[in-house]
Amino acid sequence: MVNWELVKEDPYYRARRLEEKAREAGTAEAWQEFAALKAAKGSYALASCGFFNSALVCEQKGDAEQAIDLYALAFQNARRTGSKELALMVAYRHALLAEKAEKWEKCISIYEALGAFAEELGSHFVAADAYEHAAEIMVRTGRPVARYSKPVDQWKKNAAYWRGQGHEDDASWSERHIGLYRTLFGVQTE
């Protein structure tokens, strides 16, 4: 067993001790303590993982409300890392739980937040996909989507990106999805 007391004054090792405690205890609180320390120190990827693990524990215990709040903290920290991959993993799990809990507006806002973050990064495919997920939930809940053009805008930007890279097949694929999105969701043309 590691004697963390030997280095207890060092913030990195204090966090490592908290992580060990969280792994052993497996409690949401232990993971939150670790995550809060990592966030305070600017280690946002590890903070995101800590909040994510805490949310999973809550989810497994049937506490969807607390899990939803913790996934939001995990996503917030994932955004701080600038990592679309980490943000995507967290957001899709977060949205899945919101959907299961029938928290439709929360689910839509999660997908839209991911879409906006992906837009900021210039990741138009991820943005279009996230916005299409939002549209799907809107349709499921009876919200009108006839003028919801966020996915279309992102598919256009994705096509332009690929065309600029000399990948006409990827550009055409994206343009084809504009029509498919409009057909599937009844979105009116401009």
| Residue 49: per-residue pLDDT | 96
Q: How far apart are CA 95 and CA 114, in angstroms?
A: 10
CA distance to 58, 61, 90, per residue, from 64 (Å): 7, 8, 15
115 Cβ contact list (under 8 Å, min separation 6): 126, 127, 128, 130, 131, 134, 150, 154
85-119 residue pLDDT tens: 999 999 999 999 999 999 999 999 999 999 999 99
| Residue 19: per-residue pLDDT | 83
| Residue 56: per-residue pLDDT | 97
Contact indicator for 78, 87 with CB cutoff of 8 Å? yes
Asked whether residue 5 carries a pLDDT value surpassing 80, the answer given is no
Could you please state the CATH topology (level 3) that the domain comprising 1-101 is classified under: 1.25.40
| Residue 8: per-residue pLDDT | 66
Alpha helices in 41-149 (DSSP H): 44-60, 64-81, 84-100, 104-121, 124-140
Average pLDDT, stretch 65-71?
97
Amino acid letter for position 170: D
> Could you give the percent of the chain with pLDDT greater than 90?
81
| Residue 189: per-residue pLDDT | 63
Which residues in the chain are classed under CATH 1.25.40?
1-101
Average pLDDT, stretch 13-19?
80
Q: How far apart are CA 35 and CA 107, in angstroms?
A: 24
